[in-house]
Amino acid sequence: MSKKEEGGLWQNVHQASKIYILPNSFTAGNLFFGFLSIVLCIQGKFNYQQQDRAIDYVASLITPMGSPEGGTGYYLLAILCILAAFFCDAFDGRVARVSGKTSLFGKEFDSLADSISFGVAPSLLMFFLILQPTEAMPASYAKFVQNTGWLIGFLFLLCASVRLARFNVLTNPYIMGHEKYEKGDFSGLPAPAAAGTVASIALTMLSFDLRAYMPVLIPLMILIAWMMVSNIPYPSFKHINWTTSMRFRSFILLVACIILIIWLREYSFAIIFLSYAFYPPVKYAPRGIRIFLYKIKKASGKKMA
């Protein structure tokens, strides 16, 4: 029997560790694209002076900037692999829930794959593509990046890993109250969305050949890393499936997103990911400010008393 048929928790390790083919295939696809992104980043870094016609031709089909320089094509494909991993991750859990084929193995496998695709892969992409000194940088800034680039990349990886570990604890079926976090909003920016945000911005900047402005992404990456470990509520969309009804306004928004993707192509991903990442902080900012001011007022009142 499955967990749903029992009406409770898994009774033994054999039930909890079942490997269901369809949902875990999507997770394996997530892991594959994450690994491929890492390989492409390494090739882009160390084959920068070599022209790979096959890679550059495929990259030229993706972006209208023409035939990219040696190395850039690798980074473009590495970014697209992270985005492909994001879409695989979006389907594995959904397929498991719809088919009733959930297991603790699938949950742990998904987190391990996410740590590679949305932790190691984007951190390596940042380190090779963004956190490297260039000739266009001022000497002092280039030295700063050279000395601290590895630390900034690790900070993103650390926050992604902490975010994934915290999610596993909050949704552990053996802990009371886990249903609230399984069915409700996410606590903090999900790691896949954080990786997608960084990757989509890098894709846009490469497409416009704005590599000289890549350093502006450094504070943004640090902010996104913090948002992953914050307690800001983010919508999960877990309840959405083919039978879900929606309001007219939500339907119009969905159609607009589809048109945006078709019209703007690779630039649309940055708009969508940035909107998802920064809308909740903007939405809950007034509430957070009120709570902060209330705490200051309360603390000052105690001191005066």
**Structural domains for the chain:** 3-245 (1.20.120)
Beta bridge partners of residue 233, listed in sequence order: 187
Q: Check whether 173 has a pLDDT greater than 60.
A: yes
| Per-residue pLDDT band at 244 (split at 50, 70, 90) | low
CB 127 within 8 A of CB 61: no
Q: Mean per-residue pLDDT for 103-127? A: 91
Q: Mean per-residue pLDDT for 73-82? A: 89
Q: Check whether 174 has a pLDDT greater than 50.
A: yes
| Per-residue pLDDT band at 67 (split at 50, 70, 90) | very low
| Per-residue pLDDT band at 228 (split at 50, 70, 90) | very high
What stretch of H or E contains 285?
helix 266-304
Give 233: exposed, middle or buried? Use CB within 10 Å, 0-12, 13-18, 19+.
middle
Token pair of 168 as six digits: 């596993």
The percent of residues above 70 in pLDDT, for the chain, comes to: 74
Q: Check whether 23 has a pLDDT greater than 70.
A: yes
Q: What is residue 6's predicted lDDT score, i.e. its pLDDT?
A: 45
Helix (H, G, I), strand (E, B) or coil at 175: coil
Give the N- to C-terminal CA distance of the chain in Å, as an integer: 62
| Per-residue pLDDT band at 160 (split at 50, 70, 90) | very high
How far apart are alpha carbons 265 and 262 in whole angstroms?
5
Q: Check whether 305 has a pLDDT greater than 80.
A: no
Q: Check whether 2 has a pLDDT greater than 50.
A: no
Q: Which residues make Cβ contacts (< 8 Å) with residue 292, sequence separation at least 6?
A: none
Question: How does the average pLDDT of the chain come out, rounded?
Answer: 79
Tens digit of each residue's pLDDT (9 = 90 or more) over 121-159 = 999 998 888 887 767 666 777 787 788 888 989 999 999
15-24, 107-116, 213-222, 263-272 — most confident range: 107-116
Q: Check whether 11 has a pLDDT greater than 80.
A: no
Alpha helices for 184-265 (secondary structure H): 191-207, 217-228, 248-264
Beta bridge partners of residue 234, listed in sequence order: 186
How far apart are alpha carbons 253 and 98 in whole angstroms?
25
Of 234 and 304, the structure prediction assigns the larger pLDDT to 234
**CA distances to 92, 129, 278 from 48, in Å:** 35, 11, 34
Residue with tokens 């494909």: 77
Q: What is residue 82's predicted lDDT score, i.e. its pLDDT?
A: 95
Q: Which residues make Cβ contacts (< 8 Å) with residue 65, sequence separation at least 6?
A: 206, 207, 208, 209
The percent of residues above 90 in pLDDT, for the chain, comes to: 26
Alpha helices for 63-209 (secondary structure H): 72-99, 104-115, 121-129, 139-170, 178-183, 191-207
